[in-house]
Every structure is written in C-alpha cells, then in structure tokens.
Amino acid sequence: MKKVGSIQGIFRHPVKAMRGEQLPECQVDQFGLYGDRSHYFLDDSRNGKYLSADVVPALLGYHATLEQGDGQDQYPAVRVQAPDGSLHNWGESLFAHVGETAGRPVTPLKSTPQEGGKNWEDHILVVTDASLREISRIAGVDPLDPRRFRGNLLIVLEEDEPFAEERWIGKQLTIGDVVLQVNRTCDRCMYVNVDPDTLKQNPAVLKACYQRNGNQFGVYASVVATGTVSHGDSVYVSED
C-alpha cells in the first residue's frame, strides 16, 4: 500500500440536505459514517422525492447535529438549529418549520442503524485539498469552504495534485482499520454554489467544476471493513 494523504476533515450530515457537523472522529459502519443522512424529508409536491437544497437552498441554513452515542437499534437524538436561531428536536415544531421554509408539503422520516442513512450515490464521499484549491483558483473564491461539496472525508494529499483521487477508482483506501472501495466520481449540481454560512450563491463554483473536470468533483466509496476514522489518520491506497 502507498500512503497518499491524511484525514483533515470528517463531516457528518445527520439530516439530509441540511448543514452537518465536523467531528474529530466517527464510527464507520456498513453504511458509511454512523448516522450520516439518517433523518430526511420527502417532498410531497414532487411525488415523494427527497427534499433537497437544489430545490430549496434555504435548507442549508439549518444546522443539524447528532447527540453522542452508537445505539444499534435507534440513532441518537438529532438537534437542529433553524436559520432564525430557533432550536428544535426531531418533532412537530421542526417539521412545521421546514414545511414553511420549503413552501410545500413534506414528510419527515428517519431510518435505523440496520437500514443506514439515505446517501445520494454510495456510502462515503471523499474530497481532497488539492482539488479544492484548484476549483478555488479557477472560480476566484478563496478560500473555498469544503462544506460546499458535502463530502464526508477531506484528505490532505502527500502530493499536491488536483483530482489525483480519480486514479483511486477501482482501488481500496485503508484508514486505520477502515477499508473503503472507491467506485466512481461525483457529478455536481448547484449545491456547490451555495456558501454554507451566508447561503449566498456564486455560480462560478459549479462553472469551474464543469470547465476543469467535466463537472466531476470527489469520489464515492463503499465500506469494505468497518471501524473508526479520526482526524490526522493516514490514508493508504492499494497499488494493485
């Protein structure tokens, strides 16, 4: 195996499409980061599709966190701070608040640890610092917050080569006792244009992704071996 970098950021999104939390370490189960996208809303105005920030960008103004714990029957409690500063548990006050913000009927749902979270494509989304800097340079947005890209793991590369992570497709990453199979690139949408703090949109970010790398940014991986990932962990890639 070859060392390719180290973990600089671990990001979990307890409620799909809402702002998540940055963690010093996190359990990785068979579905990805434990509790990631474990709670979500369906958009009843679109035949029950997931309520998403590409349709309702204001969702990114909600900040969701998961309480500590690693229950196997139920996930720990979710707490959400709304854009107006109000605090909510996973319950009727939050559901009404989100419905009002979305301006459409919604259905709140949550999964169990046996079901796993509702990820977009695969278990874990990996992004790298070199690719972030390259898109930042092209878009003229400095610094470019990694949270725009909704990744789970941010890796600082040993060699500063943008999009080197795409050569990992078909190979495995080892991070401590965790093993991930890298499967595909991530096709980007307007999510990346939204500043996670101000919610202001800058279309230059998505344009830069398209111009530089055919609208691909980051790679999806599935879990081969479970364990725990921590900030600073070394990342190794299989060489065969």
Q: Which of 22, 88, 18 is nearest to 50 (CA)?
A: 18
Listed in sequence order, the DSSP H helices in 81-144 are 92-102, 129-139
Residue 228: pLDDT band (50, 70, 90) is very high
Q: Give residue-wise pLDDT tens across range 169-188.
A: 999 999 999 999 999 999 99
Domain ranges of the chain: 2-237
Residue type, 104: R
Q: What is the pLDDT of residue 120?
A: 72
Q: Average of pLDDT values for 216-221?
A: 97
Compute φ and ψ for 236, nearest 5 degrees: -120, 145
Q: Average of pLDDT values for 187-191?
A: 92
pTM comes to 0.95
pLDDT above 80 (res 191):
yes
pLDDT above 90 (res 124):
yes
Residue type, 18: M
Residue 46: pLDDT band (50, 70, 90) is very high
Q: Give residue-wise pLDDT tens across range 193-217.
A: 999 999 999 999 999 999 999 999 9
Q: What is the pLDDT of residue 236?
A: 98
Residue with tokens 């996973």: 90
Compute φ and ψ for 181, nearest 5 degrees: -100, 120
Buried b (16+ CB within 10 A) or exposed e, 127-141: bbbbbbebbbebbeb
pLDDT above 90 (res 48):
no
In terms of pLDDT, which residue wins out, 174 or 239?
174
In terms of pLDDT, which residue wins out, 238 or 240?
238
Residue 54: pLDDT band (50, 70, 90) is confident
pLDDT above 80 (res 155):
yes
Dig out the tokens for 177 from the structure: 């006792």
Residue with tokens 């749902």: 109
Q: Which numeric CATH code is attached to 2-237?
A: 2.40.33.20
| Residues 6+ away with beta carbon under 8 Å from 120 | none
Residue percentage of the chain with pLDDT more than 90: 91
Q: Average of pLDDT values for 7-15?
A: 98
- The overall average pLDDT reported for the chain is 95
Q: Average of pLDDT values for 141-145?
A: 92
